[in-house]
């Protein structure tokens, strides 16, 4: 077992590079079938999804577009509550087939609060594709159309995901080692 240390924590290998790449190829084939002739617009959520989005997009065999957005969440007023804003959503998504790409769904709060901003613009359709889903942690429910890996409720890093800024460039996915 090859432990790695990132900041103050130890992590153990969890999903290999080959397994990730295999799964992404399958997902790209599925999406290519589902969106043939529809010229989908992929909306990838930064920072965590940048490697997932890149690897998936390269494998698509159809005409497709991609844009990258960043979600900033902050506390609004008492009446607006918690607010999630999208930075960089400058492509017109009206009547487009949108596929949101996210690295991980944990509680689901981020996407749950962001989704109305997509649906309000009347896209032709919206689907969500995620690399990782932690169903045990998910409190906000919405349909997740494509999931690469369903994982237990443990912190992971690598393949775009970070622990306090580090670990995004690790080619496999590692899991927090609890000793
Ligand atoms: P929610 O709870 O809104 O959270 O679904 C989604 C965001 O939380 C971060 N997150 C993680 N990041 N390893 C990470 O590196 C994890 O295990 C993890 N769990 C949640 C991530 O930024 C995601 O977009
Ligand atoms: Mg993220």
Q: Is 86 exposed, middle or buried (0-12, 13-18, 19+ CB in 10 A)?
A: middle
Distance between CA atoms of 40 and 97, rounded to whole angstroms? Answer: 5
- Predicted TM-score (pTM) of the model is 0.95
C-alpha 105 – ligand 2 centre gap (Å): 8
Contact 113, 96 (CB under 8 A): no
C-alpha 151 – ligand 2 centre gap (Å): 16
Residue with the nearest Cα to atom 19 of ligand 1?
Answer: 106
- Shortest-distance atom of ligand 1 to CA 176: 17
Residue with the nearest Cα to atom 4 of ligand 1?
Answer: 106
Residue of 106, 145, 162, 164 marked active site: 106
pLDDT digits (tens, 9 = 90+) for 43-53: 999 999 999 99
C-alpha 114 – ligand 2 centre gap (Å): 12
pLDDT digits (tens, 9 = 90+) for 98-140: 999 999 999 999 999 999 999 999 999 999 999 999 999 999 9
pLDDT digits (tens, 9 = 90+) for 32-72: 999 999 999 999 999 999 999 999 999 999 999 999 999 98
- Shortest-distance atom of ligand 1 to CA 162: 15
Residues having CB within 6 Å of any atom of ligand 1: 48, 103-110, 155-157, 161-162
Residue 106 among the catalytic residues: yes
Residue with the nearest Cα to atom 21 of ligand 1?
Answer: 104
Distance between CA atoms of 72 and 70, rounded to whole angstroms? Answer: 6
* Confidence at residue 79, expressed as pLDDT on a 0 to 100 scale: 64
Query: Which ligand is closest to the CA of 114, given by its number?
Result: 1
Query: Which ligand is closest to the CA of 168, given by its number?
Result: 1
Could you give the 3-state DSSP secondary structure of residue 105? strand
What are the Cα distances from residue 82, in Å, to 7, 43, 52, 73, 115? Answer: 30, 22, 28, 7, 14
Bridge partner list, 11? 4, 176
What lies within 8 Å, CB to CB, of 39 at 6+ separation is 62, 63, 64, 65, 96, 97
């Amino acid at each position: 077992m090859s432990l790695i240390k990132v900041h103050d924590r130890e992590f153990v290998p969890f999903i290999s590079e080959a397994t990730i790449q295999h799964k992404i190829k399958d997902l790209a084939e599925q999406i290519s079938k589902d969106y043939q002739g529809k010229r989908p617009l992929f909306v990838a959520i930064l920072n965590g999804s940048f490697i997932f989005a890149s690897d998936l997009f390269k494998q698509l065999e159809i005409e497709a577009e991609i844009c990258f957005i960043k979600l900033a969440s902050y506390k609004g007023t008492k009446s607006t509550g918690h607010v999630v804003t999208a930075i960089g959503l400058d492509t017109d998504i009206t009547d487009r087939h949108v596929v949101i790409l996210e690295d991980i769904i944990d509680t689901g709060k981020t996407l749950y609060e962001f989704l109305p901003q997509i649906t309000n613009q009347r896209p032709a359709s919206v689907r969500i594709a995620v690399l990782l889903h932690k169903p045990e942690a998910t409190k906000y429910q919405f349909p997740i159309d494509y999931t690469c890996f369903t994982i237990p409720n443990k912190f992971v890093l690598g393949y775009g995901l970070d622990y306090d800024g580090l670990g995004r460039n690790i080619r496999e996915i590692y899991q927090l080692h609890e000793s």
